[in-house]
A = this chain, B = another copy of it.
Amino acid sequence: MRTRRVVREYTDHRIDDTTLDQMLAAMLAAPSASNKQAWAFVAVREPRMLRLIRAFAPGIIGHPQLIVAACFDRTRAARPEGRVPGAWEVGLLCVGMAVENLLLAAHALGLGGCPVSSFRKDPIRTLLDLPAHLEPVLLVPIGHPAQPVEPNHRRDRNEVISYDSWNQRATADR
């Protein structure tokens, strides 16, 4: 977890079936609200499909060998719309957790990737033949890192963590 970084540029080294299967198994082991697993994923490795998806996803910078489209499944939502938080919000949290497992598994296998929310939903939906109840949330390009993975800037821990209540950041007696 501590050495994972976002990887945006990839070599043209292919991702084999075994590696893909390991990553998908890790992804599906994520927690989900009421264990509904209200999600669906499309794992794309076909070169023409990868090219087409990239055309509609400005957030994908390099040429990944795999793109996983992570979707929320509205028909299986743990919570009805209209409650706070609603089905959509809870669905986003679950999809986020599954995608983090995918990224951690990729990293553990020597690969790297990046969660991308900047894409055009309607063309992606058409390209992937998604039915109306599947809502694409994140695209996750994955590949072998083209460059060594460097540490990135992290906010000071005292800025983002407090103990027992928010105003006890500086003075925490732990």
On A, residues with C-beta under 8 Å from B are 1-2, 4, 6, 17, 24-26, 28-31, 33, 35, 37, 39-46, 49, 73, 84-85, 89-90, 92-97, 99-101, 103-105, 114-115, 117, 121, 127-131, 134, 137-138, 152-155, 157, 160-167, 174
Contacts and interface: CB of A to CB of B under 8 A. Distances in A.
A80 to B, nearest CB: 13
Contacts of A90: 117
A161 B103 contact: no
Given A17-B174, A105-B1, A164 B93 contact: no
B167 A100 contact: no
B45 A164 contact: yes
Question: Which of A39, A93, A129 has most B Cβ within 10 Å?
Answer: A93
A137 to B, nearest CB: 7
B49 A165 contact: yes
A145 B93 CA distance: 24
Question: Which of A2, A37, A103, A166 has most B Cβ within 10 Å?
Answer: A166
B166 A129 contact: yes
A93 B115 contact: yes
Nearest to A24: B161
A84 B124 CA distance: 14
A162 B49 CA distance: 14
A117 B154 contact: no
A72 to B, nearest CB: 11
Q: Across chains A and B, which 10 residue pairs bring their CB atoms closest together, nearest first?
A: A96-B96, A97-B100, A93-B96, A100-B100, A92-B92, A129-B166, A129-B165, A1-B26, A46-B164, A129-B167
